[in-house]
Amino acid sequence: MKHDVVIIGAGVNGLTTAAYLARAGRKVLVLEQRAMIGGLCSTEEFHPGFHANTCIDDTGWIPPSVMRDLGLSAFGTIAPVSMTIPGSGNGPIVITPDVRATSESLKRYSSSDAAKWPEFCAFVARLCGFLEALYTVRAPAVESTAPSDLLTLLSLGNKLRALGKRGMIDVIRTIPMSIADVLDEWFENETLKGALSTLGVLNVQHGPQSGGTALVFLHNHVGLPLGAIAGRRSAPGGVGALPTALAAVVAQSGGEIRTSTEVARIRVQNDRVAGVTLASGEEIGVHTVVSGADPRRTFTTLCDAGDFDPDFLHAVDCIRMRGPQVRVHLALSQAPTCGEITIAPTMSYVERTYDAAKHGRVADHPWIRVSIPPADVSGKHVVSLQVQAAAYTLRDGWTGATRAAIGANVVQMLEEHSPGLTQTVLHCEVVAPPDIESGFGATEGSLLHGELTLDQFTFARPVASASRYASPMDGLWVCGSGTHPGAGTAGISGRLAAREILSSKVRK
């Protein structure tokens, strides 16, 4: 066989796995169905001459270990962009990693919130510190009695204890809470709470009042420096710069990447992986296949149902994917006057956008986070928006008119903050959950490859029997965002998956 390992998908985790395996001497072949690498972490031309981050604006947390191993230190120095909240009368609330400056900005609205801000930042950092420890090791096997598993549990337990009595309670108590309850415990200003609550429901079909959204909020802060609440790590050159850097590592280590190469099927012989069949009909024989695709697609679309136990397939079918995110990219003839604002005036407002999704409607008033890519990325004037407005499944279905209405609505909402913007729109590109599914292969348009909620977390991600990257099929592994620790962390699951693969006794 020409290759030792085939990796499906040249997204961040697929490439990270490839890089680690190639550096360990495996002959690696990465197959990407799209014409370019990067998957959901791509920066593309959406209108002639205009570029934007197609799906996500944040490269996510790249832990120091991955950065060091793969020489990605350039990505470690990115100063996170935080959040600007248009205030109600007294000017905007600007959240930056500078805790004192943020406090000052809050003072105009609430002296109590301003006073609590530094403590809140420390609270988030403390809890995230524990999650970081949890995220850099493989998912704990809670029911296992193997010494190595007990050691992992013990060391996590010690990490928890190190937080002290109150810190420990804070972790245990906060994780299952709703972000609305958490924010109500800290703050009084509705504007601040509304905007912050979006971090608790980002990319999941939930409202701020749903239990477990506090975990989502914390997850979205993992790896960020103290005070960088709602921070976003936007790489110079756009998020696509990260997969490009990873691809270079793969190539240097002798790995091969083929784009425009769609895998149609994972072939199984004698109850183990025998290779992949491409959409073109070409067959590639290999004993190890690592899928960076989401778990639903990996196990139900790329494999035959007969290859797995029905219980396993049922568990895979039960994974909640539910992408609620719509992306809108505007090509403009001149720069907008608004900055990178977040429009989510109250927690009830955010809750109502969830109600719409829950009942299969498009929200009349979606919550929006604006990002303005720098000129070196966009080429020209571009505004990119995260719009949490809808659900993958709409009662009336997704049509061109649905997309156009969302685009028009969003432009109108922005007009209020950037007067005259409407006249400058040259093109409005709406990327809805079904488009994310068809364009990137992400089931139900889930940018997370499955909701990152408590029930789909660590040892239950993507499903209990595949939480350590090995699947029930000999030779088939998963490494994407749908695995522990999940989307929003860059390269961790790739690194951990590669380590599991290298330590397993697989046939080359």
Partner 1 sequence: MTSHRYDAIVIGGGHNGLVNAAYLARAGKKVVVLERRHLVGGAAVTEEIYPGFKYSVFSYVVSLLRPEIIRDLDLPRHGLEILPLESTVTPMFDGNYIAGWADHDLTRREIYRHSPRDADAYDEYGHMMHHMAMAVKPILAMVPPDPTSLAPSDLKGMLSFAGLFRSLPTRQFHQLYKLMTMSAGDYLDEWFETDVLKATKSASGIIGTFMGPRTPGSAYVLLHHYMGEIDGAFRAWGFAKGGTGAISKAIASAAREAGAEIRLNASVAQVIVKNGRATGVAMANGDEFHAPVVVTSLDPKRSFLQLIERKELPAEFVRDIERYKIRGSSGKVNLSLSELPEFTCMPGNGPHHRGAFSISPTMEYVENAYDDAKYGDFSKKPYMDIVIPSMIDPGMAPPGKHVMSIFVQYAPSNITGGWNDEKREAFGDAVIDAVTRFAPNFRASILHRQVLTPADIESITGLTDGNIFQGELALHQLFFLRPAPGWARFRAPLKGLYQCGSATHPGGGIMGAGGRLAALEILKDVPR
* Rounded-to-integer distance, Cα 216 and Cα 452, Å: 7
159 is an interface residue for partner 1 by CB under 8 A: no
**387 pairs with which residues across the strands?**
326, 368
Pick out residues in 1-20 that bind partner 1 (CB under 8 A).
none
- Map residue 55 onto helix, strand or coil: coil
388 is an interface residue for partner 1 by CB under 8 A: no
- In the complex, the smallest distance separating the C-beta of residue 485 from partner 1, rounded to whole angstroms, is 17
Helix segments in 416-443, DSSP class H: 421-424, 433-440
Q: Are 80 and 223 in contact (CB under 8 A)?
A: no
The stretch among 59-67, 93-101, 241-249, 353-361 that binds partner 1 (CB under 8 A) is 353-361
- Map residue 497 onto helix, strand or coil: helix
- In the complex, the smallest distance separating the C-beta of residue 138 from partner 1, rounded to whole angstroms, is 17
Pick out residues in 425-454 that bind partner 1 (CB under 8 A).
453-454
172 is an interface residue for partner 1 by CB under 8 A: yes
Quick count: other Cβ atoms within 10 Å of Cβ 502? 13
| Residue from 68, 100, 258, 320 in contact with partner 1 (CB under 8 A) | 320
| Residue from 78, 177, 405, 413 in contact with partner 1 (CB under 8 A) | 177
* Rounded-to-integer distance, Cα 443 and Cα 10, Å: 16
Closest CA to 156 of 179, 181, 178, 138: 138
User: Please, which residue, 151 or 172, has the CB nearer to partner 1?
Assistant: 172
Closest CA to 493 of 502, 480, 505, 474: 480
| Residue from 4, 113, 340, 351 in contact with partner 1 (CB under 8 A) | 351
User: Please, which residue, 180 or 328, has the CB nearer to partner 1?
Assistant: 180
DSSP state of 299: I
154 is an interface residue for partner 1 by CB under 8 A: no
* Rounded-to-integer distance, Cα 213 and Cα 350, Å: 13
168 is an interface residue for partner 1 by CB under 8 A: yes
| Residue from 23, 206, 287, 449 in contact with partner 1 (CB under 8 A) | 206
- In the complex, the smallest distance separating the C-beta of residue 316 from partner 1, rounded to whole angstroms, is 12
* Rounded-to-integer distance, Cα 418 and Cα 318, Å: 43
137 is an interface residue for partner 1 by CB under 8 A: no
| Residue from 71, 333, 455, 502 in contact with partner 1 (CB under 8 A) | 455
Q: Which residues contact 37 (CB under 8 A, 6 or more apart)?
A: 10, 15, 243, 244, 247, 257, 259
149 is an interface residue for partner 1 by CB under 8 A: no
- In the complex, the smallest distance separating the C-beta of residue 293 from partner 1, rounded to whole angstroms, is 23
113 is an interface residue for partner 1 by CB under 8 A: no
User: Please, which residue, 100 or 161, has the CB nearer to partner 1?
Assistant: 161
- In the complex, the smallest distance separating the C-beta of residue 259 from partner 1, rounded to whole angstroms, is 37
User: Please, which residue, 101 or 169, has the CB nearer to partner 1?
Assistant: 169
* Rounded-to-integer distance, Cα 13 and Cα 490, Å: 7
What are the two backbone dihedrals, phi and then psi, of residue 95, each rounded to the nearest 5 degrees? -100, 120
| Residue from 173, 258, 507, 508 in contact with partner 1 (CB under 8 A) | 173
The stretch among 158-166, 195-203, 335-343, 413-421 that binds partner 1 (CB under 8 A) is 158-166
User: Please, which residue, 143 or 505, has the CB nearer to partner 1?
Assistant: 143
* Rounded-to-integer distance, Cα 350 and Cα 373, Å: 25
Closest CA to 438 of 277, 266, 206, 262: 262
The stretch among 71-79, 162-170, 277-285, 428-436 that binds partner 1 (CB under 8 A) is 162-170
The stretch among 205-213, 372-380, 418-426, 500-508 that binds partner 1 (CB under 8 A) is 205-213
User: How many residues at the interface with partner 1, by CB under 8 A?
Assistant: 35
Whether the upstream peptide bond of residue 462 has omega within 30° of 0, thus cis, is yes
Helix segments in 281-340, DSSP class H: 295-296, 310-317
Pick out residues in 213-272 that bind partner 1 (CB under 8 A).
none
The stretch among 111-119, 164-172, 374-382, 414-422 that binds partner 1 (CB under 8 A) is 164-172
The stretch among 116-124, 129-137, 204-212, 238-246 that binds partner 1 (CB under 8 A) is 204-212
| Residue from 119, 185, 271, 304 in contact with partner 1 (CB under 8 A) | 185
- SS3 for 224-257 is CCCCCCCCECCCCCCCCHHHHHHHHHHHHCCCEE
Q: How far is CA 128 from CA 133, 218, 221, 288, 464, in A?
A: 9, 6, 7, 35, 24
| Residue from 211, 237, 379, 439 in contact with partner 1 (CB under 8 A) | 211
In which element (H, E) is residue 260 found? none
The footprint of partner 1 (CB under 8 A) covers: 142-143, 145, 161, 165-166, 168-169, 172-174, 176-177, 181, 185, 206, 209-212, 311, 314, 318, 320, 348, 351-352, 355, 358-359, 453-455, 460, 464
